Amino acid sequence: ELKVEQNPLFLSMQEGKNYTIYCNYSTTSDRLYWYRQDPGKSLESLFVLLSNGAVKQEGRLMASLDTKARLSTLHITAAVHDLSATYFCAARDYQLIWGAGTKLIIKP
């Protein structure tokens, strides 16, 4: 049974700092998704990682996938307040299996 774990679950950081969110999954899944959710809103797709070693970047966010380690990371560079949100990773079995989310608060 595929399980997905994220850490940390909560992160408070200052603007301008760098940090990484980790997503571990328990069984083979060579497709990994990252989504963003603002309070009371739905989920916005950020990245789809398709293969081992995949790296994708959008603005201050960069996601990577290591299928051998069953690990994906979401790296935030020089954080800004607008990136405050909850970030979810999800791996695919027959449907998406989600992590619990990382609530990110970026203080001005």
Partner 1 sequence: DTGVSQDPRHKITKRGQNVTFRCDPISEHNRLYWYRQTLGQGPEFLTYFQNEAQLEKSRLLSDRFSAERPKGSFSTLEIQRTEQGDSAMYLCASSSTIDREGMNTEAFFGQGTRLTVV
Residue 44 makes contact with partner 1 by CB under 8 A: yes
Options 2, 11, 13, 43; binder of partner 1; rule CB under 8 A = 43
Minimum distance of partner 1 from residue 20's CB (angstroms)? 19
Residue 5 makes contact with partner 1 by CB under 8 A: no
Q: Quote the CA–CA distance of 91 and 16 in Å, as a whole number.
A: 30
Distance of CA 77 to the CA centre of its chain: 14
Residue 95 makes contact with partner 1 by CB under 8 A: yes
Instruction: Tell which phi-psi region holds residue 100, choosing left (phi > 0), alpha (psi between -120 and 50) or beta.
Output: alpha
Give the single-character DSSP code of 45: E
- Residue closer to partner 1 (CB basis): 1 or 108: 1
- Write out the two tokens for 98: 């989600």
Residue 80 makes contact with partner 1 by CB under 8 A: no
Residue 105 makes contact with partner 1 by CB under 8 A: no
Instruction: Give the number of other CB atoms < 10 A from CB of residue 15.
Output: 13
Binding site residues, partner 1, CB under 8 A: 30-31, 33, 35, 41-45, 48, 50, 88, 90, 92, 94-101
